[in-house]
Amino acid sequence: MKRFVDLAELPREEVPALLELAERLQREPEPRALAGKILGLLFLNPSLRTLASFQAGMARLGGSSFVITPGQGTWQLETRPGVVMDGAAAEHAREGIPVLASYCDALGIRAFADGRDLAADLAETTFNALAALVDKPLINLESAVNHPCQALADWKTLEDFGVPRRGRLVLSWAYHPRPLPLAVPSAVLHMAALRGMEVVVLRPEGFALPPSIMDKARRAAALSGGSVRESEDRREAIAGAHIVYAKEWGATACYGDAAEEARRRAGLTGWCVRNEWFEPAARECRLMHCLPVRRNVAVADEVLDGPRSIVRRQAYNRLPVQMAVLYRLLKGL
């Protein structure tokens, strides 16, 4: 494996192999496996789980890591091509990223969506431009429309809880005061389709996921025997579901238009996941969310603190699956 950027790039057998390796490293720790190896982590956006779990994973495998958060003790980094750099940024990614890559054995980059131009975000314009500057194994720490580390951890979580391969996963839009990126919903939709699940995207009008994201998931479902469809009917979508995966994202019908966005979401505060949502679901139906989550805005306390919630296991699973990714990238076995 040369890079870990998108589950869709990996050969079919690679995801099960990574999950098996993650299990093995949990069962039989290898504290010297990556001795002498260095992981660079470049965060252009904030993080808790991704930042801490990659550092912890590298340390548990005997390697080390450094973290760069531009503008916080290091130079602000310009990522736009061709700009006159007379603003706050003192360094351009065209110099900064190759320099960072020269200090480490693998580099992870987090670069969220710009949130203004849907076509540019769907094309991963920023992440791809940064990735092209890296001549080492590369890890996507979350880009405009992808979060493969989260997707892999979520797949492991589904396995850990014995969720049926053909089970129903409802990816439900949830309220947030601001339009959040499409990275997690896109990655989770694709992951669940690739796993062979019956996936229902439950969302209000105006919040449909873009056709290219739905098409990618449908192609994965065609390979695995799964299915993908959309619904605005909460009761119908959740009937018999094994998983409700709550996620907040921006209105795609008016992407980049802040005023129209605010108007559309103003009436949607009822999209906060509550216990009553699970009434038509399967008895063992669980709640997933990638975190961070706004309590009593996106998901109610009663759900997050109740027996259905497996959000902490999802977050924990970032560690073993990323250790498996690091092992494959840096040890090659």
Which residues contribute to the site for ligand CP (CB under 6 A)? 47-50, 142, 150, 290-292
Instruction: Tell me the two tokens of residue 203.
Output: 């969302």
Q: Which is nearer to ligand CP, 31 or 292 (CB)?
A: 292
Which tokens go with 167? 């089970």
Contact call for residues 180 and 248 (beta carbons, < 8 A): yes
Least separation in angstroms between CB 216 and ligand CP = 20
The answer to whether 7 and 186 are in contact (CB under 8 A) is no
Q: Tell which residue, 180, 182, 271, 194, has the closest CA to residue 228.
A: 194
Shorter beta-carbon distance to ligand CP: residue 225 or 292: 292
Shorter beta-carbon distance to ligand CP: residue 183 or 221: 183
Name the minimum Å distance from CB 314 to ligand CP. Answer: 8
Here the tokens at position 21 are 């390796």
Task: Decide whether 281 or 314 has the Cβ nearer to ligand CP.
Answer: 314
Minimal distance in Å, beta carbon 245 to ligand CP? 12
Is the distance from CB of 67 to CB of 55 less than 8 angstroms? yes
Whether 63 contacts 131, CB under 8 Å: no
Q: Minimum distance from CB of 171 to ligand CP (Å)?
A: 15
Instruction: Give 60 or 147: the residue with its C-beta nearer to ligand CP.
Output: 147
What residue ranges in the chain does DSSP mark as E strands? Answer: 3-4, 38-43, 64-68, 77-78, 91-92, 106-110, 138-140, 168-173, 198-202, 227-231, 243-247, 286-288
| Minimum gap (Å) between residue 148 Cβ and ligand CP | 11
